[in-house]
Amino acid sequence: MYIFNPRSSIFAIGLVVLLASSCASQDKSVLPATLCTPDARYCLGNYTAVCTQDGRRLSDLRPCFPDGNCFAGACVSRICTPPGMERCEGIDTVRVCSDDGMVQSFSQCPKFESCHAGACRPDDCSPGENLPICNFDVMAVCVDGKRTSASCENGMSCKGNECKAKESCTPEEARCSGDRVSGICSFNASQWNTTVCKSTEHCLDGFCQQRLIDQPVIEDVIEDVIQDVPSPLAG
């Protein structure tokens, strides 16, 4: 299981940023003096946030997930959950929930296909050729030449072609790994989706945010983030 911390971020991304930051220096004059409009409300990922009175920081982060989506600084109720999931409604209908949970659609499977693990798939299959297919916490598997579905146990999610232990996180939760790496827990808690912040940014409250004029630009410090990290992922 991938534990999200400063020693377990993506090696390849960190290496690219190291090379980029060592090849160019940043002009601090381009950095702003403030970050936001005082007392205004914003969205950070799927959190609401309020700008401080001095305009220098987004504070009071509150999650909208799992049942809401942040829009214009406020949580609005989702039409469907979990977001980003394709799942079966009966044996021949696929329901798709959009990534923000605000739109859902339905489609019927064609003849000789049924819904398994969130998609229409041929009823007949070959165990030697058709590996398990993952979708959230469900696998489409081939048993005795026929397609069927199998759910992962509690605390497990489907990744690759097998059930694995979920990360210790809540879907859509944001965390920082040191000063330079932002991580968002995936919709089914199967992994951390990571972003290495630009040298003119820093990770704060789980998100890459713009540095201000009086805050130091960080160059050539990403070495500490990628040091001793297995490639491509700790797992």
| Per-residue model confidence as pLDDT tens digits over 194-204 | 999 999 999 99
Instruction: Report which residue type is found at 88.
Output: C
126-184 per-position pLDDT tens digit: 877 778 899 999 999 999 999 999 999 999 999 988 999 999 999 999 999 999 999 99
Q: Which residues of 108-126 are buried (b: 16+ CB within 10 A; e: fewer)?
A: ebeeebbbbbbbbbeeebe
Provide the 10 A C-beta neighbour count for residue 217.
18
What's the pLDDT tens digit per position in 10-38?
A: 433 443 344 344 333 445 558 999 999 99
17-21, 74-78, 163-167, 219-223, range with the lowest pLDDT = 17-21
Distance CA 172, CA 193 (A): 10
Which helix (H) or strand (E) is 217 found in, with range? none
pLDDT band at 187 (very low <50, low <70, confident <90, very high): very high
pLDDT for 7: 39
> If you count them, how many residues does the chain have?
235
Find out whether 138 and 150 touch, Cβ atoms under 8 Å: yes
- The answer to whether the pTM exceeds 0.75 is yes
Beta strands in 109-223 (DSSP E): 113-116, 119-122, 133-135, 138-143, 146-151, 156-159, 162-165, 174-177, 181-185, 192-196, 201-204, 207-210
CA 198 and chain centroid, separation: 18
Q: Is the dihedral of CA 207, 15, 178, 183 positive or negative?
A: positive
Report residue 81 as tokens. Answer: 């959950």
**Sign (positive or negative) of CA dihedral 48, 177, 162, 107:** positive
Return the structure tokens found at 7: 């020693």
Which carries the bigger pLDDT value, residue 140 or residue 3? 140
